[in-house]
Structure 1
Amino acid sequence: MNNKKRDTRWLASVALMMAVVILLASTPLGMIQLPVVKATTVHIPVILGAILLGPLAGSILGGVFGICSMVSNTMAPTLLSFAFSPFMSMTGISGAVKAVWISVGCRILIGFFAGWLWILLSKCKMNRMAALAVTGFMGSMVNTVAVMGSIYKLLALPYAQVKNVAVDAVWGLIMATVTASGIPEAVVAAVLVAIIGKIMLKFIK
């Protein structure tokens, strides 16, 4: 009976976090305007879910994030939507499969990585606030590095075409995105995960 109650509570908690992910992904709340760039916040509930509910929950939430990204890039396409929506592929079925990986697969990695990193840091008896901040920062960087790294490895040519640059210049553009957008997003994630995570962990206890 206790196991059933625990499973039901876990499922309800995952469903609640899924609703938060969908809300952020569907509204301007999913973006924070920084002085130079906009930082996404959609991955933050994914990281928090991984911390509070484990790597499996984090992976599920990451998948939901990825599906939301895929739908958004299909319904309101941009120049880079070919990398996130299989329906916007510029290279046929091969490109469609790559888009699914970038949009969904890379986002699943966020929750999986963050969940196991939190478990590792907890076992190391690291200061809780520091551990939350590190998990938030690294989870966010997994998102940026996995997505941009996959675009570079799998879709460098079409990326160069839409950016109207030589293929040799793609690496520089990828690194500029990681620096200008990925690092500020990671800092925001570190702060928010530390603050919100500390409060939520108290409620769970």
Structure 2
Amino acid sequence: MNNKSGTTLGLVQLALFSAIIIIMAFTPYLGYIPLGFMNATIIHIPVILGSLYLGPKKGAILGGVFGMTSLLNNTLNPNLTSFVFSPFYNVGEIHGGLRSLIICFIPRILIGIVAYYVYHFINMASKSKNTHVISLAIAGIAGSFTNTLLVMNGIYFLFGTSYSDARNIAADSLYKVILTVIATNGIPEAIVAGILVAAIGKIILKIKHI
């Protein structure tokens, strides 16, 4: 395959993964699952799979697409704390601005990058084909936790008092609430990501090497 054909194929594949992310994001109760105070999500899964298939640079682009859908979703369908993801949504005098863009995009861009290198590091370290599925599962978990941990800690460090006020909780209890969200949302999301990335990733990576 010449360079031009390879580039075209890569762009088509990137577009397909991006389309999957967008369809999931704007299909009710599929990509974003409303919880009242914020949304749970499984959109990190195609970002992880896309990064494993296309490489970390395109994975970062897919993470950016995820971030953009998050910004649009929180602007058009806001919830109590959407200001942490959208600079275009305010709650009284509380607004996100640049901080919301950091939370909306940086963790999502890093999802695929982290998952890609975790997967390849484990494979290189083990040098055994028997760990292939395990490395996929761990990559899925790592990518998912990258999103959850960076988003929730970003909220704590960048919004702190504003987030506490919006949710009507005491400021000194905020990190306990953050840890609760990580435990109740982040851990199930990571488990699901690990299972799906292991199952689907094994198939798409096999197709890639045919």
Q: TM-score, normalised by structure 1?
A: 0.92
Shift of residue 122 of structure 1?
Answer: 2.8
* Alignment equivalent of 1:174, drawn from 160, 178, 189: 178
Question: Which residue number in structure 1 is paired with residue 15 of structure 2?
Answer: 15
| 2:190 is aligned with 1:186 | yes
2:28 maps to 1:24: no
Which one has a larger percent helix, Structure 1 or Structure 2?
Answer: 1
1:13-162 to structure 2, matched below 5 A, reads 13-27=13-27, 28-30=29-31, 40-89=41-90, 90-91=93-94, 95-124=96-125, 125=127, 127-162=131-166
**Residues 50-92 of structure 1: per-residue CA shift (max 9 Å, x gap):** 1111111110000000000000000011111010001124555
1:107-131 per-position Cα deviation (integer Å, ceiling 9, x unaligned): 1111121122222223223511000
State the Cα deviation string for residues 20-63 of structure 1 (Å, max 9, x = none). 01111111322579xxxx85211100000111111111100000
Task: Name the CA distance, whole Å, in 2 between partners of 1:69 and 1:192.
Answer: 21
- Structure 2, gaps ≥5 residues long: none
Q: Which amino acid aligns with 1:195?
A: A
Q: Once superposed, which parts of structure 1, at least 4 consecutive aligned residues long, lie more than 4 Å away?
A: 89-92
Structure 2: how far apart are the matches of 1:49 and 1:122?
Answer: 18
Q: How far has the Cα of 1:163 moved from its partner? A: 1.1
8 Å CA contact 1:10, 1:53 repeated in 2: yes
1:70 corresponds to which letter in structure 2? L
List gaps (5 residues or longer) in structure 1: none
CA contact (8 A) 1:54 1:116 kept: no
CA contact 1:25–1:68 (8 Å) conserved in 2:
yes
SS at match of 1:111: helix
Name the count of aligned residue pairs: 199
Residue type of the partner of 2:57?
L
- Superposition deviation, residue 176 in structure 1: 0.1
Q: Quick check: 1:197 aligned with 2:201?
A: yes
Q: TM-score, normalised by structure 2?
A: 0.89
